Amino acid sequence: MARRLIILGTGGSAYDVLDIVHSINVQAQTWELAGFLDDARPSGSRYLDLPVLGGLREATRFDDCWFINVIGSDVSYRRRPEIIQSTGLAPDRFATLVHPRASVSPWARLGLGVYVSFGVSIGGGVSVGNHVSFSPACVIGHDSVFADCALIAPQAVISGFVRVGCCCYIGAGAMIRQKLEIEAGALVGMGAVVTKHVPAGVTVVGNPARQLVRS
């Protein structure tokens, strides 16, 4: 019997999860989309032809459902642990979703609440924490490590032995050299080429990537 799935948030990344679920169900009917929880939309409204069932704090009412979080952007990415905690859900209530046309090595480990979109490649020895999001066409090199709640935007390339800290945001098309560390809460800008360690909480942009100094 198909398992009921609720999506947390109604941002653009919801399309990635809908694509993943649709493609999984084409192969075998695995998931039934129950709807969304979102604090910014009224309960009883509809989004992408699915019902908005309530706000995030109502998640525990749905004891027959699994959940996946899509809330997170280059503005809100550091709040992802707070968003997850606000639901009151136990860790094992979160689904791990992999698009059938993604390549995940059998020697990689994925945490709870992770989703892996179309065209992603995850190499052997990769370790992924909980609630990490891989957008379409990311390439993840062998033996890299991702802490909880990291968000990897489309077509980012992360080489081998890289360590990505909690609540990092890796922008679309960014490239990270092997054996570097991107510390917690850092943001790597779109198209940046990272050749050096990135300290916690900073934003780096450009080629080669340099810390962005805000005026």
Annotated active-site positions, please? 142
Distance of alpha carbon 28 from the chain centroid: 24
| Distance linking the first and last C-alpha atoms of the chain | 56
The 3-state DSSP class for residue 17 equals: helix
Order across the sheet with 31-37: list the strands. Answer: 46-47, 50-54, 31-37, 3-8, 65-69
Please tell me the total number of residues recorded for the chain in this structure.
Answer: 215
Structural element, H or E, at residue 157? strand 157-158
Question: Is 77 in contact with 95 (CB distance < 8 Å)?
Answer: no
> Is 82 in contact with 66 (CB distance < 8 Å)?
no
Strands (E), 94-156: 97-98, 103-104, 115-116, 121-122, 127-128, 133-134, 139-140, 145-146, 151-152
